[in-house]
Structure 1
Amino acid sequence: MVKRTTATSQAKRILIVDDHAIVRLGMRQLIAAEPDLSICCESETGEEALALALNAKPDLAIVDLSLGTMHGLELVRQLHQALPEMPVLVLSMHDEALFAERAVRAGARGYMTKKGAIEGLIPAVRHVLAGKIYASEAVSQQILAGLQRGTAVPEGPIGGLTDREIQVFELVGRGLSTAGIADRLGVSVKTIETYRSNIKTKLNLRDAAALVRYATSWIDRL
């Protein structure tokens, strides 16, 4: 955790949450170049981020989705419940088509991928701080098209998974065993076995090996 003082008394105070130090460094550098923005605190875990937010009351939180024990979507949901006036911008490596709408449903005010962060982070931050919802043009069009059809944004086969199932699926793709996932998420092995079974059923996968192959290939495409 790193705490920083604001650049001016009027600077908007930002909490950044990402489990990669190099990503946090990049965000610090981008935000430091803006005199009306500052980082008040940062965290690499969801649990610590929630405590920091409750204490520091930042003007904005920038949140990654892959945070270890607490998935970013759950952190967004808890931040929105605890501090409904504080906007949250999700900055993630994950596909917008799958996660942008989920993030907004959880309470986020914006979603962008890390691929466009260098050029797009500051405009997205200002957009969200102005009280608007930020999404890429492609995702905005998908959401509007879905509303016109009365359907959700198409998410592909993974879209049928719950948020928790997606978290387990991601960890399978990153090579964690059932016991390793249970330890990471703080639940029982039996619970993870149930999640894995549900995932296989929803994705029409025959066995554990097929699940691992599918999850690994999905991670490789991120």
Structure 2
Amino acid sequence: MIRVLLVDDQALFRAGIRMLVSSQPDMEVVGEAGNGQEALAAVSAHRPDVVLMDIRMPVMDGLTATAEILTRPEPPRVVMLTTFDLDEAAARAIRQGASGFLLKDAEPEFLLAAIRTVHSGSSVIAASATRELFAHFTPETRPVPESFASLTDREQEIFALAARGLSNAEIAGREFLSEATVKTHISRILTKLALRDRVQLVVFAFEHGLA
């Protein structure tokens, strides 16, 4: 059972999401919070697997709360909720370690799929949004870490495609590989580069001039 915490200052929005999530046999809403400060207490009390976190809230915003939550031992996965497609705040949250972002007007099926995807350890940055995501990061001339040289030629090819936002299925079709093989390559790449997920891979690629 995936334990979900809802954090948003709009009670009506929370109610709608609660109804949707609670309708799923593999999910349950374990708590709600109306601001970031309440979210910190709720994470401690309910120990959710996934937190849906609004960015803009009174008392304490979602960015501040997320930064605090992700410093805790065994933190939940945090997905930011935003009204604006890839604004600077969403990009900052991803830098801090959030597992991605969702627009508040996302289709219900996409929201549910995103919760399951994040719970399984992946991210929820849509491929179509990757180019826009880059625009919110300040380019830096960081040297490429030595760990990148440990990637095989094939892994570097897969890295480049993943950095452009292609899904495993898209990479598999492009490279004539099975999705399972692509997943294995991605896992090895993340391990070698000490990255948590594909979101961090995209940021790594951009910040080191590899995108």
Which runs of structure 2 are paired with 1:97-112 in the superposition (5 Å)? 97-112=87-102
Indicate the SS of the match to 2:70.
helix
2:42 to 49, 52, 59: 52
Distance 2:64 2:80 in 1: 12
Mapping for residues 127-146 of structure 1, pairs under 5 Å:
127-143=117-133
Give 1:69's aligned residue.
59
Check conservation: 2:50, 2:76, Cα contact below 8 A: yes
Relative contact order higher in (CA < 8 Å, ≥ 6 apart): 2
Structure 2 residue aligned with 1:16, among 6, 20, 32? 6
- 2:106 is paired with a residue whose SS is helix
Q: How far apart, in 2, do the equivalents of 1:74 and 1:117 lie?
A: 27
3-state SS of paired residue (2:19): helix
Q: TM-score, normalised by structure 2?
A: 0.60
CA-based RMSD: 2.4
Select 1:126's aligned residue among 113, 116, 120: 116
Any conservation in 1 of the 2:86–2:133 contact (CA below 8 Å)? Answer: no
Q: CA deviation at 1:151?
A: 5.9
The counterpart of 2:71, out of the listed 63, 78, 81, is: 81
* 8 Å CA contact retained: 2:88, 2:136: no
Q: How many residues align?
A: 141
Structure 1 counterpart SS, 2:71: helix
1:102 deviation in Å?
A: 1.1
Trace 1:1-222 onto structure 2 (pairs within 5 A): 11-143=1-133, 150=139
| Amino acid in the other structure paired with 2:83 | M
- Closer/same/farther in 2, CA of residues 83 and 110 from structure 1, 3 Å limit: farther
Under a length normalisation based on structure 1, what TM-score does the superposition of the two structures give?
0.57
Measure, in 2, the Cα distance between the counterparts of 1:84 and 1:55: 14
SS of 1:90's partner is strand
Contact 2:91-2:136 at 8 Å conserved across structures: no
Taking the aligned partners of 2:73 and 2:84, their CA distance within structure 1 comes to 25
Amino acid in the other structure paired with 2:77: P
More helix by share: 1
Spell out structure 1 runs of 4+ moving beyond 6 A: 144-147
1:157-212 deviation line (CA, Å, top 9, x unaligned): xxxxxxxxxxxxxxxxxxxxxxxxxxxxxxxxxxxxxxxxxxxxxxxxxxxxxxxx
